[in-house]
């Protein structure tokens, strides 16, 4: 399943490459505020927090591709990295779906997470874009090394990014 989703993303990105223009490429960074949908009953583990990310977008028309690297300090008690990719549809108002994988304590998670995103992409100044969005991220659960319980990781993210057109 993971290989099929990755193949679809690569094929879509390759098909978009034939009509590239300089303004279609954007790079930037931002911040997310996340909230777990279920109450986390584990001591010293927050069920909300902030994450930070760097992002690259290729958006030549109605279909775009986004690749992010997210840093989640103290997510469910542990710092994690989360590389992820989204296929986006729309232009100023958009929606999309994505897939990613968490990396924490020297290992990748056993299963990827999936995400749905809706947002508003606005050109704030010539070549400077603001992206304001909401994301629903889900997978089954996660095990913490020092706990005997699984944590349901369905999470809502509200985020904002600033990107520069290349």
Write down the domain spans for the chain.
Answer: 2-165
Cα–Cα distance between 49 and 41 in angstroms, integer? 16
Q: Is 19 buried (19+), middle (13-18) or exposed (0-12) by CB count in 10 A?
A: exposed
Q: pTM (2 decimals)?
A: 0.78
List, in sequence order, every residue forming a beta bridge with 35; answer none if it has no partner: 48, 156
Pick the CATH number of 2-165 from 2.130.10.10, 2.60.15.10, 2.40.160.20, 3.30.499.10: 2.40.160.20
Residue pLDDT, tens place only, 84-139: 999 999 989 999 999 999 898 888 988 899 999 999 999 999 999 999 999 999 98
């Amino acid at each position: 399943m993971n290989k099929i989703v990755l193949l679809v993303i690569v094929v879509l990105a390759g098909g978009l490459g034939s009509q590239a223009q300089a303004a279609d490429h954007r790079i930037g960074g931002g911040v997310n505020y996340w909230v777990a949908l279920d109450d986390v009953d584990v001591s010293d583990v927050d069920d909300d927090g902030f994450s930070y990310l760097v992002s690259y977008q290729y958006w030549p028309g109605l279909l775009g591709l986004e690749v992010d690297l997210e840093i989640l300090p103290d997510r469910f008690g542990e710092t994690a990295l989360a590389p992820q990719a989204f296929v986006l549809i729309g232009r100023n108002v958009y929606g999309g779906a994505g897939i990613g994988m968490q990396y924490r304590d020297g290992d990748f998670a056993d299963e990827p997470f999936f995400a749905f995103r809706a947002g508003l992409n606005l050109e704030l100044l010539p070549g400077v874009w603001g992206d304001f969005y909401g994301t629903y991220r889900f997978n089954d659960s996660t095990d913490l090394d020092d706990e005997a319980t699984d944590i349901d990781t369905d999470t809502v993210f509200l985020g904002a990014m600033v990107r520069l057109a290349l």
